[in-house]
Amino acid sequence: MKSNFEQFSALHQIDTPFILPNVWNVKSALLFQELNYPAIATSSMAVAHSLGYDDGEAMPFEEYLFIIKRILANTKSMLSVDMEMGYGATDEEVFDNLQRLADLGVVGVNLEDSYITKSVRGLKNADVFASSIEWIINKLKARGLQVFINIRCDTYILNVDNKETETAQRLKRYEAAGANGVFLPCVYEEKDIAQCVSNTGLPLNVMLTAGLPNLDILRQLGVKRVSMGPYLFNKLYSQIHELAKGIEKSRSLNAILS
């Protein structure tokens, strides 16, 4: 029987890109399990906002870990975790966090190649970051831990200068470092997606964003995984906001039942 890691990895090799729902609590995770989605992932932003924190590792890792444990205890779904920048100031601290997740049964993680200083996000040095990833992956292997390492490349989300060239160089570095997949949030132009796919042998993960092509086109372009990001969470609470406004306007709670 294949391990969860093998099954999760295999999802990234099928022809049609698989949809990875981003959840924030047990209830949202169970909804997708009931709909037979093959895997789920946390959205760090959604979890943080649900707990009253800003995105960008303002949420203490121990509180995040509590949510992850509750999801794992109440679902049978393969779970990937949005680890942001790793919740650690050093490679050793990031590895320790990953080891804790692996021991719990988490099948994969996202790690970002950007940093945040005084609420401003910027790109890390690609060579230094790739070396860190290689060190972490080698140490996981040495401990016999299998975790799908999906590297989030933030060239498009930050709209950096010469992003096409910068992205191509970074994808090659991350592939050489031993990453299992790459994630490019905010890429949506067909020509850009096709170029990114051609620049790496790793499966490409994109995220829901305005203008993103449909699944049939994404399949033709070679995309393997599509994430929802925080948008489902945002949509849900936007609807709650509208319902609450409607109650005040109509002086009735009946809209909740309709």
Instruction: Identify the pLDDT of residue 249.
Output: 87
Distance CA 21, CA 68 (A): 15
| Within a domain: 128 | yes
d(CA 243, CA 238): 9
Which residue shows structure tokens 């992932």?
Answer: 41
Which residues in the chain come in under a pLDDT of 70? none
The closest of 109, 19, 111, 33 to 71, measured between CA atoms, is 33
Q: Is residue 131 part of a domain?
A: yes
- Answer whether residue 139 is part of any domain: yes
Q: Is residue 257 a part of any domain in this protein?
A: no
Predicted local confidence at residue 234, as pLDDT = 97
Distance CA 192, CA 196 (A): 6
User: How crowded is residue 159: how many other Cβ atoms within 10 Å of its Cβ?
Assistant: 9
CA distance 22 to 148: 16
Assess if residue 213 is contained within a domain. Answer: yes
Q: What is the pLDDT of residue 256?
A: 86
The Cα-based distances of 90 to 93, 129, 141, 213 in angstroms read: 5, 11, 19, 38
Contacts of 79 (CB under 8 A, 6+ apart): 29, 39, 40, 41, 42, 68, 71, 72, 105, 106, 107
| CA angle 162–163–164, rounded 5-degree value | 95
- Please report whether residue 181 resides in a domain: yes
Q: What is the pLDDT of residue 130?
A: 98
Secondary structure class of 192 (helix, strand, coil):
helix
Identify the domain containing residue 97 by its residue range.
Answer: 4-230
CB-based contact 200:150 (threshold 8 Å)? no
CA distance 72 to 74: 6
Query: Total structural domains in the chain?
Result: 1
Q: Which of 83, 82, 85, 47 is nearest to 67 (CA)?
A: 47
Is position 258 within any domain? Answer: no
Q: How much is the pLDDT for 123?
A: 98
Backbone torsions φ then ψ of 145, nearest 5 degrees: -105, 130
- In this prediction the pTM is 0.95
Determine, yes or no, domain membership for 203: yes
Handedness of CA 222, 198, 229, 139 (dihedral sign): positive
The 8-class DSSP code of residue 229 comes to T
Residue 152's CATH number: 3.20.20.60
Q: What is the pLDDT of residue 207?
A: 98
pLDDT in tens, 132-176: 999 999 999 999 999 999 999 999 999 999 999 999 999 999 999
- Give the model's pLDDT for residue 1: 84
**Residue type, position 17, single letter:** P
